[in-house]
Structure 1
Amino acid sequence: MNSKDKWLWIPMIALMVGAGLPPILIGFAEDSWQERIWVGMFTTMGAFTYAVFKKAGSRMLVISKWVEESPIGSTALVFVFTFVASGASALFATLPVPLWIHLLAGGCFAIAALTMLTKKAP
């Protein structure tokens, strides 16, 4: 293990805490349909959050540089990224709407994320 890689356990913990905290705070019933919606939406919200963070990082170069060069910055990014993706999907799963609306909105978020990722900057 390279000496630069010894700090990587910190972002790994941030990843686990960021992703696991919102479902714990919301408190889904075990093996419920809300839990299954959360699991499915986590991937879509992850892609959407990545697209938003990438677009914001290209506009805020100081923050982007801090995240790239600092272990604290990259740890903060990992925690915030997973917390936002997991929290958004947990809140989405608690909406009292029919399942087809959940599926439609999930597809819209996925299309928006892909559009943001593939659109060329001006």
Structure 2
Amino acid sequence: TDGIEMPMAMHVCGNLNECFKEIAKFPIDILDCEFAGNNVNIGILEENADLLKGKKLGFGCVDSAVNAVDDKEEVRALVERGIAAVGKENMLLDPDCGLRKVDIPIAMEKLKIISDLAKEFN
């Protein structure tokens, strides 16, 4: 890996209540977490956003555990809370986790919501 520079990311599934303060200390560039399917996580982020200084946040904004299209306005409201906490320049919108258990047409709609909102907030 000599001479190779690339960002280091870590994805954390589930509730962040017990671990956020510790994982925020990891020497990574991007911390990726679930916010759509774990509704306590946004509050934890809002209370501890200062711990992510110098890091980007992979912001899981559509629920990958539900085989239904997310409500775009609810996703927008969640993303707005994330932006208020860490700034849009520090956020990367993505699904909570992988979408392999979601029907393909539904997965595509979830990704379209993410894409539309990313364009809207840019």
TM value normalised by structure 2: 0.28
Higher alpha-carbon Rg: 1
Relative to its length, the structure with more helix (as a share) is 1
Higher relative contact order (CA 8 A, sep 6+): 1
TM value normalised by structure 1: 0.28
Relative to its length, the structure with more strand (as a share) is 2
